Chain A
């Protein structure tokens, strides 16, 4: 069983379109995240949710709207896609137990290409 699964793996779309990426974790973790990795491999946090509540929004444009229907899911909807949105988006989860302590479990990533 995949611990953190995100779909789709690849997303190719035209500028101006709206798209969604889904993420699910079966680890029972309370915290989920979206990270963006650009072409230079910089990994930057976008959002973090704890128990379905938005905790961190790292000055991400309003076109990006995360939604967490329950603790196990964190989806990312992007409106009016722009060329600069092309990147790999990673979903992750973590738990704050001493044993796990903020260790991130990542999904396999979604390669978004905006044409």
Chain B
């Protein structure tokens, strides 16, 4: 069975603070993809990153960085120097490589205050 756990329901930070969103997953599949999606207040779902289970390299994209650790089944997301526009619900997700189902964590609502 697959499962994605985002233990942080809500996080509130002040602008320019760094914040890390946690994601822990469970799967019996040997190959899989991990994702992060963002849902701003406008409601659309925006893809942020995909990581293949073979690739444990961390990734940085501007203020965003991702730490994938297979040993702890975690795929954490850090926003550096947060901005008000980062306020959104962030979802971690998991999909088996050969499957037709992506399952989502419960989401973490991030509030960034000016």
Contact = CB atoms under 8 A, between A and B. Distances in A.
Interface in B80-103: 89, 91, 93, 95, 97, 99-103
Contacts, number: 57
Secondary structure dominating the interface of B: strand
A44 B81 CA distance: 32
B76 interface: no
A45 B102 CA distance: 8
A60 to B, nearest CB: 13
Contact of A56 (B43, B52, B100): B100
A56 B100 CA distance: 7
B13 interface: no
A48 B100 contact: yes
Contacts of B35: 102-104
Residue from the set B33, B45, B106 with the largest chain A CB neighbour count within 10 Å: B45
Give the residue among A41, A42, A48 with the most B Cβ atoms within 10 A. Answer: A41
A42 B35 CA distance: 16
Interface string B52-95: 10000000000000000000000000000000000001010101
Interface residues of A, number: 25
Contacts of B93: 104
B90 to A, nearest CB: 11
Contact of B44 (A41, A102, A103, A108): A108
Contacts of B89: 41
Interface of A: 31, 33, 40-45, 48, 50, 55-56, 58, 88, 90, 92, 94, 101-106, 108-109
